[in-house]
Amino acid sequence: NASFSDIQASDYDALVIPGGRAPEYLRLNPEVISMVQHFFEANKPVASICHGAQLLAAAKVLEGRHCSAYPACQPEVELGGARYANIDVDKAVTDGNLVTAPAWPAHPDWLAQFQKLLQ
With a threshold of 0.85, does the pTM exceed it? yes
The CA-atom distances, in angstroms, between 86 and each of 29, 32, 60, 92 are 29, 27, 20, 10
Return the CATH number at 70: 3.40.50.880
Active site residue 50: yes
Is residue 21 domain-resident?
yes
Is residue 6 domain-resident?
no
Which residue among the candidates 50, 67, 73, 107 is catalytic per the annotation? Answer: 50
Indicate left, alpha or beta for 60 from its phi (over 0: left) and psi (-120 to 50: alpha). Answer: left
Per-residue pLDDT of the chain (119 residues; tens, 9 = 90+): 888 989 999 999 999 999 999 999 999 999 999 999 999 999 999 999 999 999 999 999 999 999 999 999 999 999 999 999 999 999 999 999 999 999 999 999 999 999 999 99
> At residue 96, what is the residue type?
G
Which residue among the candidates 38, 51, 67, 107 is catalytic per the annotation? Answer: 51
Instruction: Provide the residue range defining the domain that includes 56.
Output: 13-118
Active site residue 107: no
